[in-house]
Amino acid sequence: MARKVFLHVGAPKTGTTYLQDRLFHNRVSLENHGVFYPVGNEPDFFRPALDLIDRPWGGMRKTVHGEWDTLVKRVRRHESETILISHHLFAGARPDRVEKAMTDLGEGGRTEVHIVYTARDIARVLAAEWQDQMQRERKVTFARYLERMQTAKQSRSAAWFWRTHGLPDVLSRWGRNLPPERVHLITVPHDGAPSEVLWRRFCEVVGIEESWTPIDSDRHNQSLGRAEATLLRRLNARLESQELTREDYRHLVTDVIAKRTLAHRDGRERVTMPPTAFDWADEVADSWIEWAELAKVDIAGDLDDLRPQRPEAGVEWVDPDAPRTKDVADAAIDALVAVVVEAARTDPPQGPVASRAARVMRRVRGRRS
């Protein structure tokens, strides 16, 4: 039996955090059953994935140089019959980087490479990606973001989204030289389904028995709400002139404010597409389903999961860009509390956070005088 490598290439916002965390926690048990999850000393494959796709990513390109080759060496040294690698950044790889990955992992035909792709309906993906953008210094409104995705697929602002979420493009790029039975499409079930459904579909594709992974994961990428996303968008606009380093932004805004605080507030109002966009979303779903059927790729799940669920009749749509002022103010207070607690916990009175705050206040006073 040929050795197999299953390369899970994404897409972002399709349950990848849950899948990868569960694989990580059960890696010892999996290895005992012949499935190697070669993360090494890291919790995931972010660094080798970023190295492979060769993108700047906030100035991190140089810091991850060589990580992909290190991963390949780790894979080749191991004797397990099944290798499993997973990260959503792989989906955005250019054709030349895809070729490198397939050559490195295929070892001249000695290893059978399989591509795995998890896909979610475009309506939920768009809302999730826009909220993620707000955690990465972006300031675009949801209405403008949706317009860009609908009308400018090849523009610089929309290219990354479609390079990772354009199902036909991703699977054509990654599966170009593979037989269709080695290209696996896993559909993400609609809202309300337990996470176990996605996990079972994933296990079915890779050949994992559920008993091998007894430790569940409680990691899910929690969504922001209307007020929380608006707060971050306005904060990003204010911070633009404050010369905050990317490292400081990631720690204080992305981690402390967004992920630890805003994403866990009670009563978050869900971000959804306007009813007028669902005809377009249905067209996207139709094109994805048609491609999958014609390409005859292996499908785990139901292709109808890729069709957006329209709102029920009579349910009024709430504009994500126009939350109640009180809700934004409440979210802002929670964010401020989180930053104050973090500063008190991690810094002495004249430590880094206090020093940065003092510099910002001096600049503000200078502009007012």
Burial class (CB in 10 A: 0-12, 13-18, 19+), 261: buried
Q: How far apart are CA 106 and CA 69, in angstroms?
A: 14
pTM for the full predicted model = 0.90
Q: Which has the closest alpha carbon to 282: 256, 309, 257, 255? A: 309
**Domains contained in the chain, number:** 2
Query: In this structure, are residues 252 and 339 in contact, taking their beta carbons and an 8 Å threshold?
Result: yes
What is the CA angle 257-262-268, rounded to 5?
Answer: 165
Residue 165 falls inside a structural domain: yes
Residues 116 and 257 reside in one and the same domain: no
- Burial readout 126-160 (b: 16 or more C-beta within 10 A, e: otherwise): bbbbbbbbbbebebbbbeebbeebeeeeeeeebee
Same domain, 243 and 107: no
CA distance 232 to 334: 12
Phi, psi dihedrals of residue 82, rounded to the nearest 5°: -125, 130
In a domain, 246, yes or no: yes
Is residue 27, in this structure, part of any structural domain at all? yes
What CATH number did the domain enclosing 64 receive? 3.40.50.300
| pLDDT value at residue 362 | 52
| Secondary structure class of 11 (helix, strand, coil) | coil
**19 and 53 part of one domain:** yes
Outline where 27-121 has alpha helix (H).
27-32, 46-53, 67-77, 95-106
Same structural domain for residues 38 and 10?
yes
Q: How many Å apart are CA 319 and CA 311, to the nearest integer?
A: 14
Cα distance between residue 131 and residue 365, in whole Å:
33
The one-letter amino acid at 180:
P
Shared-domain flag, residues 165 and 246: no
- Does 53 share its domain with 194? yes
Residues 279 and 250 both lie in one domain? no
Residue at 81 is within a domain? yes
Residues 195 and 66 in one domain: yes
Distance between CA atoms of 75 and 37, rounded to whole angstroms? 9
Six-digit token pair at 219?
């990691």
Domain that holds residue 231: 226-269+324-368
Tell me if 318 is assigned to some domain: no
- Integer Cα distance of 191 and 202 in angstroms: 17
Sheet holding 35-36, edge to edge: 35-36, 82-86, 3-8, 111-119, 183-187, 298-300
Name residues of the chain where pLDDT drops below 70: 1, 152-158, 347-369
Residue 76 lies in a domain: yes
Residue 157 domain-assigned (yes or no): yes
Q: Do both 264 and 281 map to the same domain?
A: no
d(CA 262, CA 338): 10
Same-domain check for residues 43 and 123: yes
Q: Are residues 168 and 38 in the same domain?
A: yes
Do 209 and 75 lie in a common domain? yes
| Longest alpha-carbon distance in the chain | 76
Question: Do the domain assignments include residue 259?
Answer: yes
How confident is the model at residue 364, as a pLDDT? 45
